[in-house]
């Protein structure tokens, strides 16, 4: 059997076997609509509410702050569109390296003439300039600020505590896309001035199609989706109870083993950095991703010397059984250039690859990947 290596965990993660087993069993026993008032429905409702309580306890917040969604994209859109519309916001700030789930709805609102959109300056590593952020907040009306906690392409982490403190000073609404960091980093919502956060279960070994939006008790919005009044009238649609139960379990598993798994994945990342540096001539790295303590430990974004096979590098690795991405995870295989890498290195013609890791990867897989890269660049 040919070797296959999955190093695209920032795009999605394999589901944990325990999660698959739990979902399979729940599908047999909890098939009722949670909105039904009979005993079957009440049993399904208990699954949803217990999951909400568990997630809230892991984030040190109230269950009333957690609203289940179809994933991170819906959570981002809900926060942005409802936060701006319901609070009559006329100015928004983001960064040019934000995920498209943030950029596109903001750009749409700008085109519709609802907001003026400003882009905060970032340095060569993608780190937000807090002084420029404060300047933008000072010189505009009440503002909606959306800054990703960690960039999915280059692994740069933002100081959302400092950003939140600045936003609070100017009464701005602060939304952070935490899809890449939820269940990978600890969160204590009592210490953060964040109004909205987004999460998606498939980024931490849960199923696709389920996530949540955190909404601070200090902020009130109307629903993005109208209908049956589920999620306490905040998100219409019959609840995905199997997904919600799995999301809760995956998150609990992640935080229970957070230190051990973080150290293991950091070890894999460190090992791959060392092997790339020693085996591939002139390999370079984007952002701060070689700084194990100050970058997304699951992501290693690098670029290689210009070569005739540059545009075919991802394809060649795929043929060899190695799954990774060039630029943004969600558009892996797309011929479009990465807006993040274009912003960070606008004139670079060097082929870029993002390797991203999970607890299921091994050093043997790293060795295989390095061996094949050496062959391609020899």
Query: Catalytic site residues?
Result: 330
Token pair belonging to 99: 């995920």
Residues whose CB is less than 8 angstroms from the CB of residue 269 and which lie 6 or more positions away in sequence, other chains included: 292, 297, 298, 300, 357
3-class secondary structure for the chain?
CCCCEECECCCCCCCCHHHHHHHHHHHHHCCCCCCCCCHHHHHHHHHHHHHHHHHHHHHCCCHHHEEEECCHHHHHHHHHHHHHHHCCCCEEEECCCCCHHHHHHHHHHHHCCCCEEEECCECCCCCECHHHHHHHHHCCCCEEEECCCECCCCCEECCHHHHHHHHHHCCCEEEEECCCCECCECCCCCCCCCCEEEEEHHHHCCCCCCEEEEECCCCCCCCCCCCCCHHHHCCCCCCCHHHHHHHHHHHHHHHHCHHHHHHHHHHHHHHHHHHHHHHCCCCEECCCCCCCCCECCCEEEEECCCCCCHHHHHHHHHHCCEECECCCHHHCCCCCCCHHHHHHCCCCCCCEEEEECCCCCCHHHHHHHHHHHHHHHC
φ, ψ for residue 12, nearest 5 deg: -165, 160
Ramachandran quadrant class, 94 (left: phi over 0; alpha: psi -120 to 50; beta: rest): beta
Residues whose CB is less than 8 angstroms from the CB of residue 170 and which lie 6 or more positions away in sequence, other chains included: 134, 137, 138, 142, 143
| Nearest by Cα to 131 from 26, 123, 206, 143 | 123
């Amino acid at each position: 059997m040919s070797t296959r290596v999955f190093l695209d965990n920032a795009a999605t993660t394999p589901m944990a076997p325990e999660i698959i087993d739990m979902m399979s069993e729940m599908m047999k026993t909890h098939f009722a609509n949670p909105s039904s008032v009979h005993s079957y429905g009440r049993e399904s409702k208990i699954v949803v509410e217990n999951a909400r309580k568990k997630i809230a306890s892991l984030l040190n917040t109230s269950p009333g702050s957690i609203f289940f969604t179809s994933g991170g994209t819906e959570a981002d859109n809900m926060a942005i569109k409802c936060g701006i519309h319901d609070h009559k916001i006329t100015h928004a700030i983001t960064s040019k390296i934000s995920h498209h789930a943030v950029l596109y709805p903001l750009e749409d609102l700008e085109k519709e003439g609802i907001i003026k959109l400003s882009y905060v300056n970032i340095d060569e590593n993608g780190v937000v300039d807090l002084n420029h952020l404060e300047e933008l907040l000072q010189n505009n009306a009440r503002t909606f600020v959306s800054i990703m906690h960690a960039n999915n392409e280059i692994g740069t982490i933002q100081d959302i505590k400092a950003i939140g403190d600045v936003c609070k000073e100017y009464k701005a609404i602060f939304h952070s896309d935490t899809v890449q960091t939820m269940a990978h980093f600890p969160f204590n919502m009592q210490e953060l001035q964040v109004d909205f956060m987004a999460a998606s279960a498939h980024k931490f070994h849960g199923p696709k199609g389920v996530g949540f939006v955190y909404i601070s008790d200090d902020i009130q919005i109307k629903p993005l989706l109208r209908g049956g009044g589920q999620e306490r009238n905040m998100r219409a649609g019959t609840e995905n109870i199997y997904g919600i139960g799995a999301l809760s379990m995956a998150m609990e598993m992640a935080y229970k083993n957070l230190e051990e798994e973080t150290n293991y994945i950091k070890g894999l990342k460190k090992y791959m950095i060392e092997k790339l540096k020693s085996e591939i001539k002139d390999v370079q790295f984007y952002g701060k991703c070689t700084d194990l303590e100050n970058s997304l430990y699951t992501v290693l974004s690098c670029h290689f010397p210009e070569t005739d096979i540059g545009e075919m590098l991802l394809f060649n690795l795929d043929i060899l059984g190695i799954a990774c991405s060039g630029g943004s995870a969600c558009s892996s295989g797309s011929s479009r250039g990465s807006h993040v890498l274009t912003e960070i290195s606008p004139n670079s013609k060097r082929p870029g690859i993002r390797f991203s890791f999970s607890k299921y990867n091994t050093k043997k897989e790293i060795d295989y990947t390095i061996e094949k890269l050496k062959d391609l660049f020899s």
